[in-house]
Amino acid sequence: MKKIQPLATIPAREAWLFQPENREILEEVKKGLREKGTIKLGSFKKYLK
């Protein structure tokens, strides 16, 4: 029995990221997404009026 694979369409403007020669860039993007929310920016209270 053959398994059915879902088809995902990648927009042309994003397709370059998934090319084999851009593997390092893709890994950096994945790393950045994993780090999302872990960076503390401090208080912005002094900018409020």
Q: What is the pLDDT of residue 20?
A: 94
Question: Model pTM greater than 0.75?
Answer: no
Token readout for 29 is: 């993007």
As a whole number of angstroms, the distance between CA 31 and CA 25 comes to: 10
pLDDT per position as a tens digit, 1-49: 788 887 888 888 999 999 999 999 999 999 888 887 766 778 888 888 7
Distance (Å) of CA 16 to CA 25, 30, 31, 33, 41: 10, 15, 18, 18, 32
Residue 36: what are its φ and ψ, rounded to 5°? -50, 125
What DSSP character marks residue 42? -
What DSSP character marks residue 9? P
